Chain A
Amino acid sequence: MAVEKRDRGGRPKSPRKPASVADGAREAAAIHLRDVATTDLPAIVDLDRRLTGEAKPAYWKAGVAPQADRFFLVAETMGGVFAGFAIGEIRAWEFGSPPVGWVFAIQVDPDRRQAGVGTALLEGLCARFRAAGVGLVRTMVNRRDHLILAFFRAQGMTAGPSLELEMELQP
């Protein structure tokens, strides 16, 4: 996906080279990061279906479309085998927060876990956020999903200042 990068004033920036292992994913020396392409759609839909039990092709088709301040990265082995993906977006002034990099999704092929793929993807997103002038990264995780919680904790993330609240709407 050719995401148009913009500077803090909203002006398009010159394209940067794709994220790579050099972004900081030392542990994942055999993993290569690149921007998503529409040809990745079947692999993304399939991985998401395997992890969540539900296929959402329309959602992901819209998701891979280029959007300003959004980064959709794909991780693949040096042999070009799809290993996972991550989506991040810079959002400003939502809930009163200055610009912050949100990690919306990070999914790794279960057969390729414990190989640094998730770490490489998160570091790739952080590199993009940093290059766009953002100094804080944030995500939201189901508190019963201990696996993904432990992953983000291991990367150095801690509880932020906000609590998510919700309620069921009565008909």
Chain B
Amino acid sequence: MKLQMATRLGLYAALELARDPTRQLSATDLSERFAVSTNHLAKVLRELGRAGLVEAERGAGGGYRFCGNPRRTTLMDIVALFEESPGDRAAEPGDGTDVGRALGRVLAEVDEIAEATLRSVTLETLLKHAHRNRAR
């Protein structure tokens, strides 16, 4: 499954901040960690902020911190902020043919399985697995 760069950055940033919700990290800290431009990451952080998942503290020592619930926030909640929903896709040539409809059903099945997987993994679950992998 290919995710857009903004989606991957949204996931990285949310997960990194959710590791320790008391900790603040600047856009620069995070961009250096993921080797991406600060501008690009700042846009992603603003989107996470609009969704109520992170909040920005201004001033010296300020930065972003996670303010959502890691036990309730799923990967899909973040993916949905940046990726187009399958139901929002514009019609494409061939969709109305018998082959197009049959293909559409297969692709919808793939989308549904992918969504179920992303909805079933919370940030807390993923961080727990990441921690276990690091400990091995």
Is B15 engaged at the interface, CB distance under 8 Å to the other chain? no
Report whether A150 and B116 are in contact in the complex, using a CB–CB cutoff of 8 Å.
no
Additional A-B contact list (11), CB under 8 Å, known A143-B113, A153-B122: A143-B116, A144-B116, A146-B116, A146-B119, A146-B120, A150-B122, A153-B125, A154-B122, A154-B128, A156-B129, A159-B117
Query: In the complex, A143→B124 CA distance in Å?
Result: 20
Interface size class of B (residues with CB under 8 A): 10 to 19
**How close is B117's CB to chain A, nearest CB, in angstroms?**
7
Name the residue on A nearest B128 (C-beta): A154
Q: For B120, what are the chain A residues with a Cβ–Cβ distance below 8 Å?
A: 146, 149-150, 152-153
Q: From known contacts A143-B112, A143-B113, infer whether A149 and B125 are also in contact, taking CB-CB under 8 Å.
A: no
Q: Which residues of B contact A (CB under 8 A)?
A: 74, 112-113, 116-117, 119-122, 124-125, 128-129
**How close is B135's CB to chain A, nearest CB, in angstroms?**
14
**How close is A139's CB to chain B, nearest CB, in angstroms?**
12
Report whether B119 and A154 are in contact in the complex, using a CB–CB cutoff of 8 Å.
no
Closest 3 CB pairs of A and B: A149-B120, A143-B116, A146-B119
